[in-house]
Amino acid sequence: MPAWGDFTGLNRGYVLEQYEKYRRDPSSVDEATRELFQQWTPPASDVDEPVPASGGSLHKAVGAVNLAQSIRRYGHLAAKLDPLGLRKPLGDPSLSPENYGITEEDLRSLPASLITSPLCADATSMSDVVEAFRRLYCSTTGYDYAHVFVPEERRWLRQAAECGRFRAPDDPIDPMALLDR
């Protein structure tokens, strides 16, 4: 008989299901399985079971991920596109952490690994991720690719936007130096 650790995933579930059937009614399983369970039983506690998250922390994690995804999707509505600054961008209520029942402190306590993005490389918490998303999606350039129906194209556009593939360099060209040259 293989060791209990050799059973993983669906196989472990199947063995536990067969064992429960055997415990209720030994005749409900085939003879070879009956003989096996007469000599061997699964461990009483399964050490590989995940520790259940508390409802509060799970709610905060889901809220933080939803906030980040909303900034990706609706951040362009809060972009500062008026060069004269005469009109303040309206934004969208879904861009606010309060909309998801979380606070800035909650975002600081959650790991940055909840969401995948090139913008998360230097982030230490979800607060850093949300701030990086705001800098990208709610700044002077608005990225809106939610209308693209082909998932691969949407992923490519998001990747290009978030890794800065087509963004101006951090050290802009000096037009006077270029003219002199």
Q: Which residues of 91-102 are buried (b: 16+ CB within 10 A; e: fewer)?
A: ebebbebeebeb
Please list the ranges in the chain whose pLDDT falls under 50: 46-51
pTM for this one? 0.62
- Residue 140 class from Cβ within 10 Å (0-12 exposed, 13-18 middle, 19+ buried)? exposed
pLDDT for the residue 48: 45
Residues 6+ apart with CB under 8 A from 136: 75, 119, 143, 161, 162
Task: Judge contact between 102 and 63, C-beta under 8 A.
Answer: yes
Task: Judge contact between 107 and 127, C-beta under 8 A.
Answer: yes
pLDDT for the residue 47: 42
pLDDT for the residue 129: 94
CA gap 40, 70 in Å, rounded: 51
pLDDT for the residue 1: 55
Task: Judge contact between 68 and 115, C-beta under 8 A.
Answer: yes
Extended beta strands in 24-179, E state: none
pLDDT for the residue 108: 92
